[in-house]
Amino acid sequence: GAGVSQTPSNKVTEKGKYVELRCDPISGHTALYWYRQSLGQGPEFLIYFQGTGAADDSGLPNDRFFAVRPEGSVSTLKIQRTERGDSAVYLCASSPGVPGELFFGEGSRLTVL
């Protein structure tokens, strides 16, 4: 069966541009998570959806970051006015509701020049 799919796998953009990263979770998984991983660091929590609603967005670093999941399946992470410090691998994970058992995609590598 298909795993979590993230597109694009690689995105290079210029400082100040707008970026969208897409996540297709495993079918039937109700929970969806976004994490960010910088080089040499562990995944850093950004936001968690249960169904269509953001249950916890405490990890979003500032108001340039926003995420949606309008139909409770696909999610999009949106970053406005990108900065060089936003460069990282953005990871998406979904879960069928079993505590802590997350299924991760391979990530979207964002490079801001």
Partner 1 sequence: AQSVAQPEDQVNVAEGNPLTVKCTYSVSGNPYLFWYVQYPNRGLQFLLKYITGDNLVKGSYGFEAEFNKSQTSFHLKKPSALVSDSALYFCAVRPNFGNEKLTFGTGTRLTIIP
Which residues contribute to the site for partner 1 (CB under 8 A)? 3-4, 31, 33, 35, 40-45, 48, 50, 55-56, 58-59, 91, 93, 99-107
Q: Which is nearer to partner 1, 83 or 101 (CB)?
A: 101
In the complex, the smallest distance separating the C-beta of residue 27 from partner 1, rounded to whole angstroms, is 17
What are residue 12's DSSP bridge partners? 111
Instruction: Quote the DSSP letter at residue 84.
Output: G
Is residue 24 within a helix (H) or strand (E), and if so which, with residue range? strand 19-24
What are residue 25's DSSP bridge partners? none
Q: Which is nearer to partner 1, 81 or 106 (CB)?
A: 106
Q: Which is nearer to partner 1, 77 or 82 (CB)?
A: 77
Alpha carbon distances (Å) from 50 to 28, 70, 110: 12, 11, 25
d(CA 64, CA 40): 24
